[in-house]
Amino acid sequence: MNNAATTPVKQEVFESMKPYFAEDYGNPSGFSNFSERSKDAIEKARDTIAGLLGASGEEIYFTSGGTESDNWALKAIAFANRKKGTHIITSKIEHHAILRTCEWLGKAGFDVTYVNVDENGFVDSKEIRRAIRSDTILISVMTANNEIGTIQPIREIGTIARERKILFHTDAVQAYGHIAINVNECGIDLLSASGHKINGPKGIGILYIRKGTVIGSFMHGGEQEHGRRAGTYNTPGIVGFGKATELAQASLATRSTFESELRDYLIDRIIAEIPYSRLNGHKTKRLPNNVNISFKYVEGESMLIMLDQKGICASGGSACTSGSLDPSHVLLAIGLPHEIAHGSLRITLSEEATKEEVDYVVEELKKIVQRLRSMSPLYEDFIKEKKENVQ
């Protein structure tokens, strides 16, 4: 129930990777036949990944994951375009890989505008238009939010960026392989994606960089990736990411239908059967596997621990922020007060999830919420007040 945090490597993916550990382990940058085999496997994966995005292979650069891709995109675009301007636009609900990079850029002399989102977590493309200045060099807005699943109007934002000749980056870590994305149709110049969100291995990602984009290298060293991202290739990781992409592409339509039906069933049951609960994010324009619900008068951490005791692995905010006591910046940005943001739960399904599992989650959740409320002085006050009002 926590597939937005990470997913298992599928057996077929694992099998595809195996030969590149101990048999075809040659360094792909070498000139032997042995190296060629690794190189060919890498180029095949690159083309598969490019195919899913409507890009060409030469525009795909392998990285160590979504975090590196986001850092590279923002920092290297900022410094390469510094003479043109120093203004960057992003949203308040980006992943910390973007937000903390923007903070860092702020200290390095760049000026960042964080646009607001509405109550469903949508960035308004008109707000983006209003935020543009003559010195704006980059717009970075995520394709879909990792906490509340909201799918952003990236095509509209890409069109505005193109009209104004500003580069457009999107963090598609949660969207890649889950919803269709075409970089040309959406006017995307740079896109980050990660292997471990689509049943690929951890520690591998890509940055799509549109051909002709002026950007510096992030890792300095060897000549790998046209000298733009140095470091010996992670051949098994790349091959696994390629295979996971191929499988994700083949199942995209059926998986999306299956997951969104199960998601809606889960949402409808929770809202109908647990009083004082609310759905966060838009009802339909959300990732097919994402459910995010706030429960009034419930403490989120306790809810997670109790769910865990019942064998249910879910999340409070994103995996990266849980463990911190601060409420999620995403839930605050959509206007939730602190106490409600604290009582929130993210459940992210997979194609392997079953209706029986979802029913089990609802039944356990009902008991847990009731139990936590029975211990809450705030809930007690609320019920007392309610009774008095009725009398």
The contact set with ligand PLP (CB under 6 A) reads: 65-67, 70, 95, 97, 142, 146, 171, 173-174, 194, 205, 318
Q: Which is nearer to ligand PLP, 140 or 146 (CB)?
A: 146
C-alpha closest to that of 117 among 352, 391, 390, 332: 332
Q: Which is nearer to ligand PLP, 318 or 328 (CB)?
A: 318
Closest distance to ligand PLP from the beta carbon of 298 (Å): 24
Closest distance to ligand PLP from the beta carbon of 60 (Å): 15
The two structure tokens encoding residue 244? 């996971």
Closest distance to ligand PLP from the beta carbon of 195 (Å): 7
Phi, psi of 89 (to 5 degrees): -115, 135
Closest distance to ligand PLP from the beta carbon of 2 (Å): 11
Catalytic annotation on 313? no
Q: Which long-range contacts (CB under 8 A, 24 or more apart) does 245-248 make?
A: 245/45, 245/48, 245/49, 245/52, 245/177, 245/198, 245/200, 246/48, 247/10, 247/12, 247/13, 247/199, 248/52, 248/177, 248/178, 248/198, 248/199
What SS3 state is found at 114?
A: strand
C-alpha closest to that of 260 among 143, 389, 358: 358
Q: Which is nearer to ligand PLP, 285 or 371 (CB)?
A: 285
Report whether 259 contacts 289 (CB < 8 A).
Answer: yes
The two structure tokens encoding residue 332? 């605050």
Residue nearest to ligand PLP (CB): 66
Q: Which is nearer to ligand PLP, 176 or 297 (CB)?
A: 176
Catalytic residues, which ones?
A: 320
